[in-house]
Structure 1
Amino acid sequence: MMTVNEKIKALRDRMSRHNIDIYIVPTCDFHGSEYVGDYFKTREFISGFTGSAGTVVVTLKEAALWTDGRYFLQAESQLKNTEIKLMKSGQCNVPTIREYLQKNATESLVVGFDGRMMTATMAEEIESIKNISVISDVDLVGEIWENRPLMCCKPVWNLSLEYCGKTRAHKLGDIREEMKNKEVDVLVLTSLEETAWTLNLRGDDVECTPVFLSFMLITSLDATLYVQKASIQDEIVKELENDGIVVEDYFKIYDALENTKNKKVWIDKNSANYNIVKKIKTHNEVINCFTPALNQKAIKNPTEISNMKKAHLLDGIAMTKFIYWLKTNVGKEKITELSLGEKLEEFRTVAKSYIEPSFTPIVGYNDHGAIVHYSANKESDYEIKDEGMVLIDSGGHYLEGTTDITRTISLGKVTPKMKKMYTAVLKGHLNLAASVFKEGCSGVAIDYNARQPLWDLGLDYNHGTGHGVGYLLSVHEPPNAIRYRILPDNQFNPVFKEGMITSNEPGVYLEGEFGIRIENLVLCEKKEKNQWGTFLCFKPLTLVPYDRELISFEDMSDKEIELLDNYHKMVYEMISPYLTLEEKIWLRDTVKGGNSSK
């Protein structure tokens, strides 16, 4: 097996053969996905870095990896003993990839990449740099990747109307109405989640994300699904045909677009790959913005909302029982980070409608908790003892929907510093959950509520405060988000709307010491409408207690304690009927009124 440095050397050999000066390897598949199947993990193969976000840039003399604050510590560890330099995105004096390329492009420069595995947004930004020309039809990493996994092709399955709330015919009608309003002829869906949502279908081609490899073309009169035909049963094909949807082979999308001419074509370049867009823009007018499928699926319908509440009840029962088990058994039997993640999965699988994790669980004990998206392996697997804290970020896919929750749990003796930091995170979490804001606000307007208690201490966290969550799709769903930075593309600063489901997850991470994060999912609802306008608020979906043993009540205001007590009262009322007597007593003691401890 080649080392990372040997792989880079082999890549440079092929770069030279193609007269390529710089080769770029993003984290992507043919659909701009965040999480990708094994076949598409070229960036992980070439670098050894396993995080879900990052881009490798290789020149004939150096190599670098760009990733965000969630992965700084993990990347530093995994890039050791390689020539790849870590570029910490967003940090002072760290150039963006564009700035790095501009600096190198003092004269004619050829940049290569696999145009099927780079979004059109990123590729066109590179292409626009002065003195740069691109070669987009070369998969150089694939050429050196021996025994590369095959593309996944697992069966596509129906999600019934009792879970979807709208038929695919109804959804296609809503999409076509938006196409009519925008006066476009063709809509191209390239995001796997958008196609799956539109058709009320799911699959298993991406681990922890129930989607299937596919594209879709929609016009005012017809629709075509491009999918690996081996993955779709004849019965589903007939159902689709009855709804006016033709099924074609997955790779025929490129021929179809090449034959599309003199049309106004709607596509989202953030998910569409560069080669797809190249086919379109040669003979058509391109309309680039979020698709109606993306915007419509972000606003959950009444059936989806009702089901998501059921999913969170099931998940709350599993998580509460799990926390009780952990606190009861830690120090009495051997528990490791890996085995703890497996144990949590056991509690979730009790529910008949449970399908799979919504992402690989993050279980970080003590200093491992400071690695935002830490992933334990056999080499790093800590034994968990009856002292300190463990951060557990996990979630599940149920037929009723998707969950995502983080709890930081005390396991015995904890320090005053740990309690002070936990309380600051909890205060921000509670304050954000209690936000009331006018319709028209984006997440930028309310992010401060979560960060203020940490900023008061001169602390912060290098990740967003909240992300959208799909319905039995991706656990990370645009467009809704909570962050304090305004992104250049206004599409990524959307206003909140009733029915959106978003995470609330502030944290603090002290390298070499510990990490703390607290996360619930919240539903955006209308609070009231008066002469001043419409006011929105959040309603918690997650039903799991916070850790009372980590709270410094003297650092909390009466209002914050009231918010805590109200949430805990709701958790007890909803969860306790499903617990054993011992679990119920423990939960009662865990959620008893905060004022009694002030």
Structure 2
Amino acid sequence: MNQFTERIEKLREVMAEKNIDFYLIPTADDHSSEYVSDYYKVRNYFAGFTGSAGSLLIGREMAGLWTDGRYYIQAERQLEGSCVSLFRMGSDGVPMITDYLKAHLPEGGTLAFDGQVIDRTQGQDYEKIVEAVHGRILWDKDMAGQFWEDRPERSCAPVFELEEKYSGKSRKEKFAELRRFMDAKGGDRVLLASLEDIAWLTNLRGGDVTHTPVFLAFALIDRERVGLYVYESAFSEEVRAHLMEDGVALKSYMDIYRDLEGLDGGCLLYDGTKVNYALARSVSEKVQVLPVDINKMIPKSIKNETELQNLRDIHIKDGVAMTKFMYWLKTNIGKIDITEMSASDYLWELRKNIDTYLDLSFDTISAYREHGAMMHYRAVPETDVALEPADMLLVDSGGQYYEGTTDVTRTFILGPVSDEMKKHFTLVCKSMLNLANAKFLYGCSGYNLDILARGPLWNLGIDYRCGTGHGVGYLLSVHEAPNGFRWKKVPERNDSAILEAGNVTSDEPGVYMEGNYGIRTENEIVCVRDEKNEYGQFMKFETLTWVPIDLDGIDPQWLNPEDIRQLNVYHEQVYEKISPYLNRDEKEWLARYTRAI
């Protein structure tokens, strides 16, 4: 019996004592975050699966991990030898957790979970399932977490202010806009729990989640004051003074639950997908609750002109680092020892030298040969392999800078590759450029446009088991709703909103051949207005990412004249924007790798 099965068996003993049929452990924190700090990795502790998405359901005689297509391969390997079965979300015949519970929760049964890490909307779904069998929910204790010996403390990293030259708007202006929204809805208060939304609203950043510069906080806002529930030791005297001037009062982090219980009437606005179940259950019965869409209330996904100009600037700096990395990799492969990890470290050093660098935006994916087929592979000493002058290396990486967040993927040809690899590499490039060059009427979402990227691969009878792209925050999470590209709507992803001018989205089609190789080419693009005529407002995309696409992988027979024109235009712009920052040898090399084909 491995350690994870032993931990599950101990939890089952308590479940039996309390007559609990199923215990649910999601990947979440008190704030519905996608990425969480170490304190909240209870699912990892019980299952050993380290992916950023997945929920563990433990029954008396079953244990199942539900995760999406990005993590199928990783989850299979990490669950091997344990009692946990993999449920491949989105695959034919695989039920969602709610469907599984509907089928297996017995009459009068009990479902338990920690109400602080389940959002209100999910909690309501579970309530309906339990009510149907006249059962009960236990939600007020972190029952699983109590077994975690040496559990890390909640993070309390220093909080800093983001200057207006980066944010483009003062927090007082943002507070005023939020209060106008509140008035239009007839609300008296707003409750915020999402860390990214609070950070954006207050023009503050922190370090409580790895690679996502946010701080643990709740916010309760009325017409006069902003109550910010935090770990106060994270705030310097200077930051506190500035907040006080702007009408922000700091309060103790856990006091939010008590203060919600003490509300005496009025109308409270919140988004049920961004407020945890325990918070919602704490709201006084005297209060009217009005559900709202967080993305309409906190429009952080629509970047302002200051943010957009900053992003244009930082993508050139970031592109220089990526181009220097590509030059180093391509000219040294087979001459010096390079591994997945040492390549990743070299790229990190290049980014760290950028003057406004703060952190990576996620753990770099440096994936050679078959590792590239694992969409979110991370090299560690046990898996690190040497790179050879053959096959392909996929590198997905990005940085957090004062001027914004970057995310870029390139697949590098290190030596001889098969004709099939070149075909797939070329069609992934075509797919990315097809979408980046789209022109469309306002009102379209990524759901309408995804076929432009996926179509060339569907024509081969292949697909990639993920979306084509995700929204990107501004010095926030590298994954940001509500904009994205995917061919079918996935409600829990919340990324099918109408594309608005100022939305920044990744464009990253790929091919993943399990056990052989993976290919992904990713640029960030921003939605902008184009012409307006009798048919309506047309929209298009402006490219933000400027990094060569490895021409050693391009087979022109798979491109039509328009594809070739798009690639040549892109490479011409890459050379124009990046070459001024390179030395002579790098510049000569870049001219060759951005040549017209």
**Which TM-score band (shorter chain)?**
over 0.9
1:512-549 Cα offsets, whole Å, 9 max, x none, are: 11011110000111111111110000010001010101
Could you tell me which residue of structure 2 aligns to residue 399 of structure 1? 402
Is 1:463 matched with 2:466? Answer: yes
Distance (Å, rounded) in 2 between the aligned partners of 1:331 and 1:28: 43
2:150 is matched by which residue type in structure 1? N
1:212-263 Cα offsets, whole Å, 9 max, x none, are: 0001011122211010011111221111111111111111110111112322
Distance (Å, rounded) in 2 between the aligned partners of 1:93 and 1:230: 50
1:560-591 Cα offsets, whole Å, 9 max, x none, are: 10000111011100000000111111110111
The gaps in structure 2 that reach 5 residues or longer are none
Quick check: 1:404–1:520 contact (8 Å CA) kept in 2? yes
Is 1:408 matched with 2:411? Answer: yes
Aligned-pair CA distance for 1:188: 0.7
Distance (Å, rounded) in 1 between the aligned partners of 2:158 and 2:2: 34
Counterpart selection for 1:481 from 467, 476, 484: 484
Could you tell me which residue of structure 1 aligns to residue 556 of structure 2? 553
Q: Cα 1:514–1:358, aligned 2, differ >3 Å: closer, same or farther?
A: same
Normalising by structure 1, we get a TM-score of: 0.97
Distance (Å, rounded) in 2 between the aligned partners of 1:341 and 1:491: 31
Aligned residue runs from structure 1 range 58-137, under 5 A: 58-129=58-129, 130-131=132-133, 132-137=135-140
Quick check: 1:295–1:479 contact (8 Å CA) kept in 2? no
1:411-436 Cα offsets, whole Å, 9 max, x none, are: 01111010011111111101000111
Aligned-pair CA distance for 1:489: 7.8
Aligned residue runs from structure 1 range 264-413, under 5 A: 264-280=267-283, 282-291=285-294, 295-413=298-416
Could you tell me which residue of structure 1 aligns to residue 44 of structure 2? 44
Aligned-pair CA distance for 1:292: 5.3
In the alignment of these two chains, the number of paired residues is 594
Quick check: 1:391–1:516 contact (8 Å CA) kept in 2? yes
Counterpart selection for 2:436 from 409, 433, 436: 433
Aligned-pair CA distance for 1:502: 0.5
Could you tell me which residue of structure 2 aligns to residue 443 of structure 1? 446
Distance (Å, rounded) in 2 between the aligned partners of 1:557 and 1:291: 43
Aligned residue runs from structure 1 range 496-575, under 5 A: 496-575=499-578
Aligned-pair CA distance for 1:27: 0.1
Q: Cα 1:80–1:394, aligned 2, differ >3 Å: closer, same or farther?
A: same
Quick check: 1:68–1:90 contact (8 Å CA) kept in 2? yes
Q: Cα 1:491–1:347, aligned 2, differ >3 Å: closer, same or farther?
A: closer
Distance (Å, rounded) in 2 between the aligned partners of 1:273 and 1:490: 17
Secondary structure at the counterpart of residue 484 of structure 2:
strand
Q: Cα 1:295–1:557, aligned 2, differ >3 Å: closer, same or farther?
A: farther
Could you tell me which residue of structure 2 aligns to residue 153 of structure 1? 156
Could you tell me which residue of structure 2 aligns to residue 197 of structure 1? 200
The gaps in structure 1 that reach 5 residues or longer are none
Q: Cα 1:2–1:513, aligned 2, differ >3 Å: closer, same or farther?
A: closer
Aligned-pair CA distance for 1:107: 1.1
Could you tell me which residue of structure 2 aligns to residue 165 of structure 1? 168
Secondary structure at the counterpart of residue 568 of structure 1:
helix
Could you tell me which residue of structure 2 aligns to residue 175 of structure 1? 178
1:545 is matched by which residue type in structure 2? P
Aligned-pair CA distance for 1:105: 2.3
C-alpha RMSD over aligned residues = 1.4
Quick check: 1:155–1:232 contact (8 Å CA) kept in 2? yes
Quick check: 2:197–2:298 contact (8 Å CA) kept in 1? no
Quick check: 2:2–2:81 contact (8 Å CA) kept in 1? no
Distance (Å, rounded) in 2 between the aligned partners of 1:282 and 1:44: 36
Could you tell me which residue of structure 2 aligns to residue 28 of structure 1? 28
Quick check: 2:201–2:298 contact (8 Å CA) kept in 1? no
2:424 is matched by which residue type in structure 1? M
Aligned-pair CA distance for 1:280: 2.1
Quick check: 2:158–2:234 contact (8 Å CA) kept in 1? yes
Distance (Å, rounded) in 2 between the aligned partners of 1:86 and 1:286: 38
Distance (Å, rounded) in 1 between the aligned partners of 2:557 and 2:286: 67
Aligned-pair CA distance for 1:365: 0.3
Percent identity of the aligned residues? 44
Aligned-pair CA distance for 1:315: 0.3
Distance (Å, rounded) in 1 between the aligned partners of 2:208 and 2:273: 21
1:20-74 Cα offsets, whole Å, 9 max, x none, are: 1100000001100011000010011110000000000000101000000000000
Secondary structure at the counterpart of residue 296 of structure 1:
coil
Deviates more, 1:335-344 or 1:30-39: 335-344
Could you tell me which residue of structure 1 aligns to residue 249 of structure 2? 246
1:307-356 Cα offsets, whole Å, 9 max, x none, are: 01111011000000000000111111221111111111011111111111
